[in-house]
């Protein structure tokens, strides 16, 4: 797989969704608070199913929550 990583706007979107806590979001999608924290810190990339669930709960499209950040330099 090429260089790059999944980034996300989870912390911001949680705040905008009525200051939802990590524990509340985790409970809604069936993961622990620590897993939500790991996703926010970029330490864990969730499964596609979990990513879709998070986006649905936050009322956003998947690409509004998660983005792919390429490690390659942009073309000139």
Partner 1 sequence: MAWREKTAWITLVLMVITYGTYFTLVSGASLSTMSMLKLFGGVTILQVIAAVIATAVLAALSGDEARAKPDERDRAVARRGASIAYFVLIVGVITVGVVMPFRDSGWRLTNAALFALVIAETVRYLTVVVSYRRGWHG
Residue 72 token pair: 């390659």
Contacts of 72 (CB under 8 A, 6+ apart): 2, 3, 4
Residue of the chain from 17, 50, 56, 57 that contacts partner 1 (CB under 8 A): 50
Cβ-based nearer residue to partner 1, 16 or 42: 42
Cβ-based nearer residue to partner 1, 68 or 75: 68
CA dihedral of residues 48, 49, 50, 53 (deg, nearest 10): 120
Residue of the chain from 7, 12, 32, 67 that contacts partner 1 (CB under 8 A): 32
Query: Is the dihedral angle over the CA atoms 50, 23, 59, 63 positive or is it negative?
Result: negative
Per CB under 8 A, the segment of 14-22, 27-35, 55-63, 66-74 that binds partner 1 is: 27-35
Q: Binding of partner 1 at residue 45 (CB under 8 A)?
A: yes
């Amino acid at each position: 797989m090429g260089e790059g990583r999944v980034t996300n706007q989870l912390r911001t979107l949680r705040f905008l969704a009525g200051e939802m806590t990590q524990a509340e979001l985790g409970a809604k999608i069936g993961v622990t608070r620590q897993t939500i924290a790991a996703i926010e810190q970029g330490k864990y990339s969730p499964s596609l199913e979990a990513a879709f669930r998070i986006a649905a709960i936050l009322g956003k499209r998947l690409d509004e929550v998660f983005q792919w950040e390429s490690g390659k330099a942009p073309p000139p």
